[in-house]
Each structure stands twice: as C-alpha cells, then as structure tokens.
A and B are shown apart, each in its own frame.
Chain A
Amino acid sequence: MGLRSRLIISVVGLATFILVAWSSLLAYNGLRQHRGNGEARAMDSLALLAVPAATDLAERRVEALDALLGSATERDESLLWVGVVDADGRVLAHSDTSRYGEVVTDAFTLEALEVGVAVSERTEVDGAPALLAALPVETRSDVGSIRWGTLVAAVSMAGVESTISGLRVNLAFASLLMLLVMAVSLWLLLSRQVIGPLASLNAAAQAIKDGDLSARVREADGAAIAELELLRGVFNEMARQVEGQTSILEGRVARRTAELEAANSELARINQRLSRAVARLADIAKTDGLTGLLNHRSFQEKLSLELQRCLRQEHPLSIVMIDVDHFKAYNDMHGHPAGDFVLKEVARIFRDNLREVDVVARYGGEEFAVVLLDTPKGAAGLVAEKLRLAVLEQDFPHAEESQPEGRMTISIGVSSFPDDGLSPAELIETADLALYEAKRRGRNRIMLAGELLSMYRTRT
C-alpha cells in the first residue's frame, strides 16, 4: 500500500476513531454533565434559599420562613416541595403547611441530619424523575459553624430528563449522520481506490476473454491503492505478452496454413496427375498400345461380362475373330513400321464400321476379335462381311507387291451365343475354328460356325 493510501486510510481511520470516541465521550459526558448540571443548579437554588432561611431561623421568624418556602415553590415550578427541619427532624417550616411539627423519619432526611453536609439522591415523585436534596441551613466560619436547621426539598428533574432525552435523540441523529458521512466517505474512497480499479480490471479481463487482446486496464486517475495499481501493471504486462505471443502464434499458423494449403494444392495437382496416370495406365493395361483397341485380357473380361448379361437377358451375342491375311510376309517384306501401320489402319477401319457398343480388341499379333452385342449369327455375318469389304477396299501401301491378291485382305470366323457355345472359351474356340476354316479355304472370306462355314466369298 502506497504512502498516500496509507495516509488516507490512516487519516480516515483515525478520524473515524476520534469521531466515534469523541461522540461517545460527548454523549456520555454530555448526558452525565447535563444531569449533573441540572442537579447542581437545583442544589445552587436551594443553597440560595438556605441563606435567607438561615436569617429567618436565626431570627426565629418562622412565619417569614413559611412565606419564603411558599414563595419559593410558587416561583420555581420544579420545586415540588421544600421544608426545614431541626436537628431532631421536626418540621419547622414547609411548603406543605399540613406537615408543621411532623417528625421526619425517612432514611434520606435522617442521613442528611447525620452527615451535616449537602446531599442529594435521585428518586421518583409520582412516577416522574426528581431529586431529593438536603443541605444544612447554617452560618459558617473557617473554624466553626452554627447549624440552624436542615433544608430538605424535592426538585423535579422532569425538565432535565426531557432535555436529556432530546439530547439523546440529537446525539443519535448526530451519530447516524456521522456514520452516514463516514460510510459515504469510505464508499467514495473505496469506489475511487478499489471498486473503480477492480471494475476496470474486470472489464479488461472480460474483453480479453472475449478475444480483444488489445484491451488494457486504464489508469484509475492515480487514486487506486498501490496493490491494485501494481496488479493493473502486472495485468497489462501479462495482456501485452499474451497479445504478443498470440500474434506470433497466429503468424506462424498463417504461414503454416499457407504452406499447408500450398502443399495440399500441390498434392491435389499431383493426385490429379497421378489419377490421370493411373487412368492412363489402366487404359494402357486394357488397350493395345499400337492400335488403341482393347487388348486380349480386356477382351476376355469384356466378353465374360457381356456374355453374363446376355445369359441373364437371353439376348444373342456373336464373336468375330479376324486375322490379317499374309501379314507376316508383309511385315517381313516391308518392315515392322509398315506392318504396324497396317494393323493400325485395320483397327481404324474396324472402329469406323462398328457400333459404339460393339467391343473391338487386338487379340494378338495380326489377329482381332469383335464382340457384337445383341447380334445373332446372321447379322454377325453381315457385319463381318462389311468389315472384310472395308479392308479389302482400303488401299494399303505395298499391298500389290506382297499380297497374293494384290490387296490387303482379312479372314473372319464367327460364332454366336447360344448356338455355338455358352461360355467365352467355347465361343472363342468355335470362332477360332471358323477362322481357321476360312484361312484353310483360301483366306479373304468369312466362315460361320455351324452349318454355314463358307457363306461368303466375295469379289477379289
């Protein structure tokens, strides 16, 4: 706690203590003194009354004493009654004339007669506070006295007590006011030095919790207690460090994210390329590299699939096995490039003259195979013939030099499901047999499996 705060709190505390102590002392002494003053005034009045009473007693003027006491009670309303008794307690005079000659025996008067000095006792008369007082009516010197009698009186303290009650109310009000002032002062002090700074601290903490790392605790007009001021500094430093570290982390994350996004993009690109490569590899695996047609393996798979479908749907299917006539001789004579060209050109002719749904494959070497979906054997023969003619009509380089008929020709064997077989192997085998038969019968012809082994022999 700073010196200033210590000073303020010490001053406030000391002031509170002094005020409380002072007010308590004031209340205690004030009430005590007021009552004491009231009693002292009453005793003083009686002492004044005792002076002429002494004269009257010394002069034995009892009637004058009667008048004195009577007028005293009339003049002073608080004087309830007053009388003078002799040394034996006999009433010499009294404001209540009925008490003449009475011998007083009450303890207070007897004690007053005994002690011979002014005495008083608080009592009640008719339920109201009063003071019983007695004092000697005497003539004194420094070494002796003549005691003429004793004055005994009852003085009402109702007025004094009423004033005391009023004083109590005032004191209570003053105390309440003082407490209120102290409470307000302390509240203002606490608000300024503690609550205000705490509210700022709370607001800053809340803002930081909500994500505003730039929030800071503002300075509380330099009035916060030292601990809170220290806490404010520590909090702001902590917030500054959190904000700095967060900023660094966010920068790193942003960089890492950008790098990751770049890597992901690159990976996607690679994946895309890989997919394309894989697709191409798949295509490569399925197709023949020279002609672009399905290879032997793919043909087998395709045939099985289509055959199963035809089996389920009971649709017809035909297989056309094709072999380029005298291709080996052509290849040997004109070289592989020329041979390859022939194969590619034949394949093109096949694609051009077949439906999209039909399956064309390079079955091996100069041999091709075609699956004609939903095509019975008769129709397959027509398709085969169309292909034979197309090849025949196509001009191939060097065909006149190396082909026996001066033209490039093909031999074709056709088998059909379900007539020639129910399985791929059976259908291929029967188509191969038909092809073989076509070759054997002089090439450039079509042989259908079954009864029509040599249906077509077209023009050369």
Chain B
Amino acid sequence: MLLLALACTSPDEEAPPVEEASYEETVSAGKEALAEAGVSRLRWGMTAFVDPESAVERWQPLWDHVGDELGVTIELVPLEAYEGVEEAMRRGEVDGATFRPRAYVHAREAMPLQLVGTHVVGGSAEYSAYIIMLEDQSVRDVAGLPDLGGGPFGFVHPNSTSGFIYPAAMLQEAGVHPLEDVEARWYRSHAGVFDAVSRGAVLAGAVNSIELALSASDPSAPSMRIVAKSDRIPYSAYVLREGLPPAAVSAMAAAMNGVSTKSAEGRELLRALPGVNGFLPVEDGYYDPVRDAAEVLEAKGIDPDALELPSGG
C-alpha cells in the first residue's frame, strides 16, 4: 500500500517534501530515526471521561501494534478531559496524545506539536454538531436558532468542539449570544446533553452526530428535532511532541493508517473500539474550521478557557 508521507506540522520547520514511499520504507525510516534518537518508549496521553482504565484496556492493542511497527513501547496515560492533555504535554509527561479538536487548536497556539493524524468513525474523518430539541416540544414556537433566545440551553463543556464551540458559533451567527441570550447549562458529556433535552431540562442542546446517532438508536429515546446542523468538524488529533524525529511522525501515521476495519487484522485491533474504523494522516490546516468557529466566539469576547463550570453542572 502506498502512503503519502505526512508533512511536519511545525510552522517553524520547513515541511519535508511529500514523496511516495512504501509502507515498509516509511515505517522502517521512522523506526531507525527513533532508535537513533534513543527513544524506546513513548507515553501517550488520552482522555477518558469515564472509566479511564477500561479505556486504556480497549485502546492498548492498537498502540501495541503501532509500537511494534515503530520498535518502541507505547504506554497509555489516561488524562483528565480537555485541559489535562495540553497540560501533560507542556510538562513533558507524555510524548504524544489524543487531542479533541478544540484542545488541539488551543494547544497548538501554545506549543509546537507534530500532527500525526485523526481517526475515522462511521467511515468518516469528520462529524457534525447538532442543536436539538424535543420533537413534541410545544412550550414555544421555535422556527430556528433565533427563537432559542431566553431559554435554557444545554452545552457539553467550554472546550468541547461539538458540544460548545461550534453550536455557540452557530447561535452567535444567528444573533443569539450563547452565554447571554440563553441560559447555558453544562453537562460535561454529549450523552448528558441528550438526556437533559430528553427530560425537558433544557429547551435545546448541543450534541455531536455520534451521540445523536447512538441516542436516537435507543428505542426508548424521544423523537428529537434538529434545529441546526454545523459544518463538518474534524475528529480528534493524534499528536507527537516537538523533538521527536519527523520520520517517526510519518512512520506512526503510516502505521496507524494501516489499521482499519478493511482487514481482519485491523478489525481485530479495533474490535474494542466501536465506531473507530481507522486512521488518516492530516495536516494542521485540517483544523482551520475549528479555529474559524472559535474566532466567531472570540469576536464577541467569549473565551472558553475563561469559562468556569458550576460544580455538579
């Protein structure tokens, strides 16, 4: 299988020329580069909202495979959602991590990072944010986003790309300030928002397409009405710290890209990761839509990092 070598994502470094190289050549070059750098172990940070240990267990086979390909041991380090990943990278506690899109964009502004790729879910490397409300919600006549002003609105987290950044930008562009014109409530997970909307705790809420699909598949879930749908949002970014050889980045991208549900081996590696079908190499520009959405909010003085969640929200 032919792979395109992944370019270096550091703006300070000149991107290496993209050239066709075989999988073996790419991986071998990365392996050698790591060996020369004396790297035999990579610590990989990953977020886990619930049950971190279970998450590590489910992801470990994939990283073991990648580590074998690169000739290193990859150790998974469970981290607190969002803020914890960037902080761990800054402290050097991890050599690489899985960043949520908004977290990646935020961290990328603070430190040099090398982007490896993203994962594919449901056959796609992108997803959407949805603003939903109960289908039979008759409290108010909601024709569109502008009619949501004044009501309680469910968000996931200030740093959640699909749970706040995108839906807040959508509200803002519709003339509804996401913090002032609605009563923002934070539920820390997409499932929590879906549940809040289902219970009628909020007039509407922001969830991503995966949660919507999963929740909607529950026969007991009430019918939801999609008030708005965002542009496509890139999935999480798989990132290595600065200082690791670029050849190692390309090799990791190739190794990950070689894992997909197309093959029996890939399906076995991903068996414990429902929804994940594989991985794709991407470049930093892939996350520009996230930056654009964030700018919409920043233009109105909304800084997700400055938002403090009420305890138990």
Contact = CB atoms under 8 A, between A and B. Distances in A.
A145 B282 CA distance: 10
A60 B285 CA distance: 30
A140 B261 contact: no
B124 A54 contact: yes
Contacts of A141: 117-118, 125, 280-282, 286
B278 interface: yes
A266 to B, nearest CB: 125
Contacts of A55: 122-124
B6 interface: yes
A58 B122 contact: yes
B4 A143 contact: yes
Interface in B1-20: 3-4, 6-7, 18
Interface in A10-53: 51-53
Contacts of A144: 3-4, 6, 117, 253, 257, 280-282
Contacts of A51: 123-124
A126 interface: no
Interface string B245-270: 00000000100010011100001000
A373 interface: no
Contacts of A145: 280
A243 interface: no
B277 A59 contact: yes
A271 interface: no
A119 B198 CA distance: 45
B281 A139 contact: no
B195 interface: no
Contacts of A137: 123
B120 interface: yes
B283 interface: yes
Contacts, number: 74
B120 A146 contact: yes
B125 A58 contact: no
Interface string B109-120: 000000001101
A142 B283 contact: yes
B247 to A, nearest CB: 16
B277 A139 contact: yes
A52 B209 CA distance: 14
A189 interface: no
Interface string A311-328: 000000000000000000
Interface in B261-313: 261-262, 267, 275, 277-278, 280-283, 285-286
B44 to A, nearest CB: 20
B257 A142 contact: no
B4 A59 contact: no
Interface string B222-258: 0000000000000000000000000000000100010
B282 A142 contact: yes
Interface residues of B, number: 27
Interface string A127-160: 0000000000101111111101000000000000
B244 to A, nearest CB: 19
A52 B6 CA distance: 27
Contacts of B262: 57, 146, 148
A139 B125 contact: yes
B277 A146 contact: yes
Given A58-B260, A59-B277, A60-B267, A143 B122 contact: no
B123 A139 contact: yes
Nearest to B122: A55
Contacts of B120: 58, 139, 146
A367 interface: no
Contacts of B122: 55, 58-59
A60 B18 CA distance: 32
Given A57-B123, A58-B120, A59-B123, A143 B277 contact: no
Contacts of B7: 143
A56 interface: yes
B6 A143 contact: yes
A125 B311 CA distance: 66
Contacts of B275: 59
A51 B6 CA distance: 25
Given A58-B260, A60-B261, A142 B286 contact: yes
B261 A59 contact: yes
Contacts of A59: 122-123, 261, 275, 277
A284 B165 CA distance: 161
Nearest to A56: B123
Contact of B285 (A54, A57, A139, A142): A142
Nearest to B286: A142
Nearest to B284: A142
Given A58-B277, A60-B261, A148-B262, A143 B123 contact: no
Contacts of B277: 58-59, 139, 146
Given A51-B123, A139-B123, A141-B281, 16 more contacts: A51-B124, A54-B124, A58-B120, A58-B122, A58-B278, A59-B275, A139-B125, A139-B278, A140-B280, A141-B125, A141-B280, A144-B6, A144-B253, A146-B260, A146-B262, A146-B280
Interface of B: 3-4, 6-7, 18, 117-118, 120, 122-125, 253, 257, 260-262, 267, 275, 277-278, 280-283, 285-286
The 3 closest A-B pairs by CB, nearest first: A58-B277, A54-B123, A55-B123
11 contacts: A53-B123, A58-B120, A58-B260, A59-B261, A140-B125, A141-B125, A141-B280, A141-B286, A142-B283, A144-B4, A146-B277
